[in-house]
Structures are given as C-alpha cells and as structure tokens.
C-alpha cells in the first residue's frame, strides 16, 4: 500500500536509528503531543529502540481524554432531556462523568446515538423533525472544519432541530500552557500530524522562539516518527531549535487554508476547560453569534451540577506528562478498558489504554 509500506521499511529504519544513536549525546526529554503518536510509538517499540539519552513523554493530545468532567456532564444532562437525541462518537459514550456516563444514560432510556461522522448526526436530525438532535463536538482543529460545514449545511437546508455542544479545543495554547507550568523540562516536541495538516507548522514557531525548544511535525508511521526524532536530535545537539516537518506528504507550512477559513467562519476562539490543567485562555472554539441558534448551550438550559473527578484517578498528571499510568494505583486493577475509571483508559488514543495494551507489567 503506497505511503504505508514505504514508511515501514526496516532497512531505512535501521539507518535512521544508527544516525540517532550516533548523534544523540545530550540527555534529552521529548514529548509527543498527539495520542495517535503515542499509540504508534508503543505499537512499534520505538521507545526501546532509541538510545538511553532520549526519554519520551506522552502529552495531552487525546481530545476525549482532555474533555473535562464538567463538559461531559453537560452532554449527559442534555441526554436526560425530553425529546432530545444526543449524537456522539463512540469513545465519548463510555467516558465516566461526575455522576454517570452517556452509556449509563442510554441504558436508563436516554436516546443516544453513536455516529461515525457529523454527517450522520445531521441525517438523524433530518429524519427526526420532532426531536432536537445535539451533536457532541469534540476534537482539535482536525475535526472542527467538518463540524463547521455541518452547521452551514443545516442553515442551507433549513434543518432547525440540530445543534452543537462545542467542546472543541485548539492545540498551540495547551502546548504553551504545558511549557508555562514548568512541570516537565522538555528539550523537544513531536507536533501533531493531523492537526498540522489543517493549521500547518507556522503556529508552533513561538515554541523555539520563546522557549528555545525544538519542534518537528510527524506522521504516524515508524519512519515518520524516527525522522522526527532525528530532526529533533539534530536541532538540540546543534543548539538551533526551530520547527521542521517530517511529514511533508501530509503537512504544508501554511496548512490547509480552506479548512481553516471554513472553521473560522463558523467558530470563534474562546476559553476552554482542560482535564488536569484547568481553564486555558483562547484554547477552545465556540459558535459565532450569528450561528447561536445551533449552539446547544444557548438553545437549552443545562444545569448538570458541580463536577467531581474520579477518586484516585491521575489522568490529569498523565495528560501533563508528569506521571505515567504505571504510577497510578488504579491502573490494571480497578481501571481497565472493560471498566475504565478515567478517560485515558477509554479512548483508543488514551495513554492509559496504550500502556495497557502495549506496555508490559
């Protein structure tokens, strides 16, 4: 398969690893931001192949995982309302909220539909004119343009029973927040691939400029990640941090300008609440005022009650790269993929789930 097998070539991987081992002399700490990268790194055993000088940390790049309990509680409260259908991606349904989950609400009779795209949710609204359909919009800049397109389509087709609970978040501000917290002393960052396909590499320029930290945008195949690590090692060893792209088949420096334009035409930047970090200014997306009738928070009176976090769960510190799942006393005991306590064990890109499936005990 083109662009898959070529990026899993063992001979090329060996050459890259030899170069990394040869050039990496300083002890460095690299963080992969994206949950997809975390899965790929563990699946292909990349951590074990790198030299001892390189320590890899996992960051907050899983949109399901960083959704705060208070925001998830809003979705559950909507599901409990009469004549409301909540449409959501599958992972979100299983994430525990403060008092319940969408899965439990569904078992109790709420009308909750698992969808594979926002278009599925729009179709449900068309087919159920007597119901209000709320799509739980999660994800980073990768998914926001498609949700924006659904709002424009609903407007064009005069679908009046459709709205969005926008829990979307944007990546550069949380990267800044992680660096400002100073809890992890990073030398380099593997920037997200899918997000960067939309926004490009330019938005990360503040990282080398203001923090002196190396950046490389990576794809998701083994050679993509090894090339990104090789680039980061070169930057760090030379003392010349910058933003490089190790995923040029998917990412341009300027990004996908049409997708960004679409996203910005429907959404505006807002503050957002991140699990384990708290409120981060200008890190979320909300519907612009002219699309307020599609905003679930404006259409409905949502009062979910005070939010609480699962007792003993350390998802917050795991998302910040401060801890690993192996340090959690619930991991593999009371918290498993079959019975998750926190979101990092639910999502297929969650760090806890990745450790569970790929990291030996």
Q: What is the pLDDT of residue 361?
A: 45
pLDDT reading at 301 higher than 80: yes
Q: What is the pLDDT of residue 7?
A: 87
pLDDT reading at 305 higher than 90: no
Calculate the average pLDDT of the chain: 95
Segment 132-148 shows an average pLDDT of 97
Q: What is the pLDDT of residue 3?
A: 66
Q: What is the pLDDT of residue 95?
A: 92
Q: What pLDDT, in 10s, does the model give residues 142-175?
A: 999 999 999 999 999 999 999 999 999 999 999 9
Q: Of 1-10, 156-165, 276-285, which range is least confident?
A: 1-10
pLDDT reading at 1 higher than 70: no
pLDDT reading at 283 higher than 80: yes
Segment 127-132 shows an average pLDDT of 97
What pTM does this model have?
A: 0.94
Higher pLDDT, 70 or 359: 70
What whole-number distance in Å separates Cα of residue 213 and Cα of residue 29? 10
CA 216 to chain centre: 18
Q: What angle do CA 337, 342, 348 make, to 5 degrees?
A: 45
List of domains in the chain: 5-59+172-245 (3.40.50.11750), 69-170+256-299 (3.40.50.11740), 315-358 (no CATH)
Q: What is the pLDDT of residue 2?
A: 65
Q: Which two tokens stand for residue 228?
A: 């990104």
Q: How confident is the model at residue 360 (pLDDT cuts 50, 70, 90)?
A: low
């Amino acid at each position: 398969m083109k662009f898959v097998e070529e990026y899993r070539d063992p001979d090329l991987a060996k050459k890259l690893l030899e170069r990394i081992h040869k050039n990496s002399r300083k002890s460095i700490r690299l963080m992969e931001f994206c949950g997809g990268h975390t899965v790929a790194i563990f699946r292909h055993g990349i951590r074990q192949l790198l030299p001892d000088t390189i320590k890899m940390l996992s960051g907050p790049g899983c949109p399901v995982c960083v959704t705060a309990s208070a925001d998830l509680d809003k979705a559950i409260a909507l599901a409990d309302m009469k004549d409301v259908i909540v449409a959501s991606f599958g992972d979100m349904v299983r994430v525990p909220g403060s008092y319940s989950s969408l899965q439990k609400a569904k078992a109790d009779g709420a009308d909750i539909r698992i969808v594979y795209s926002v278009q599925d949710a729009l179709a449900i609204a068309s087919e159920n004119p007597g119901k209000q359909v709320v799509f739980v919009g999660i994800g980073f800049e990768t998914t926001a343009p498609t949700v924006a397109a659904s709002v424009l389509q609903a407007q064009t087709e005069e679908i009046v029973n459709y709205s969005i609970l926008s829990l979307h978040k944007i990546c550069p501000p949380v990267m800044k927040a992680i660096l400002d917290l100073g809890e992890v002393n990073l030398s380099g960052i593997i920037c997200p691939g899918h997000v960067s396909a939309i926004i490009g590499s330019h938005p990360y320029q503040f990282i080398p400029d203001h923090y002196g930290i190396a950046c490389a945008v990576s794809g998701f195949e083994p050679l993509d990640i090894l090339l990104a690590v090789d680039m980061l090692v070169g930057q760090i060893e030379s003392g010349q941090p910058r933003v490089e792209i190790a995923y040029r088949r998917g990412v341009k420096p300027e990004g996908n300008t049409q997708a960004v334009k679409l996203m910005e035409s429907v959404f505006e930047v807002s503050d957002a609440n991140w699990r384990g970090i708290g409120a981060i200014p200008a890190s979320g997306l909300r519907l612009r005022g002219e699309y307020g009738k599609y905003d679930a928070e404006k259409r409905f009176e949502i009062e979910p009650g005070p939010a609480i976090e699962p007792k003993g769960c350390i998802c917050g510190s795991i998302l910040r790269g401060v801890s690993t799942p192996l340090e959690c006393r619930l991991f593999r005991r009371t918290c498993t993929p079959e019975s998750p306590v926190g979101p990092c064990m639910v999502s297929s890109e969650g760090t806890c789930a990745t450790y569970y499936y790929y990291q030996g005990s």
